[in-house]
Amino acid sequence: MSFNYEQSFTIQGGNFTDAGVVSVFIKRTLQKMGIPSEILRRVAIATYESEINIISYARIGIIYIRVTPENIIINIDDEGPGIENIELAMRAGYSTADEKIREMGFGAGMGIPNIINCSDDFKLTSEVSKGTHLRILININTN
């Protein structure tokens, strides 16, 4: 089966009302394309966690997804505070979420670790006061 698709989505920071809308749309679109369910699960988790991070911390962000016959590449760019200590941010349970975010049930410090666990390749770069970039690669195994 041959997969080809690409689209970008703009996410508004602070808009918890629409949290999850983009990741659900991506999952449904890929499901209609016939992407295997295990790959769908990984993409859904990675895009949802990325979407929540944008909403929680950034002013605005973009999720760009490209599906090829071999893999799914997800690039996330945000304009936000950036991450001061990337190594610490990648540690399970570490969070800089404020009380408001925690009261809504977010900010447990599992977002980046969950993204890493769903990725076959993961790259995170960030510049304080500028923003953050994630590159997530998920291989499609159609055997």
Show the domains of the chain with their CATH numbers. 5-139 (3.30.565.10)
Q: Per-residue confidence at 1, pLDDT binned at 50, 70, 90?
A: low
The whole-model pTM stands at: 0.91
For 58-112, the pLDDT digits (tens) are: 999 999 999 999 999 999 999 999 999 999 898 988 888 888 888 888 888 889 9
Task: Write down the mean pLDDT value for the chain.
Answer: 93
Query: What own/partner pairs with CB < 8 Å and gap ≥ 24 does 15-20 have?
Result: 15/55, 16/55, 16/104, 18/55, 19/51, 19/52, 19/55, 20/48, 20/51, 20/52
The predicted model gives 40-62 an average pLDDT of 97
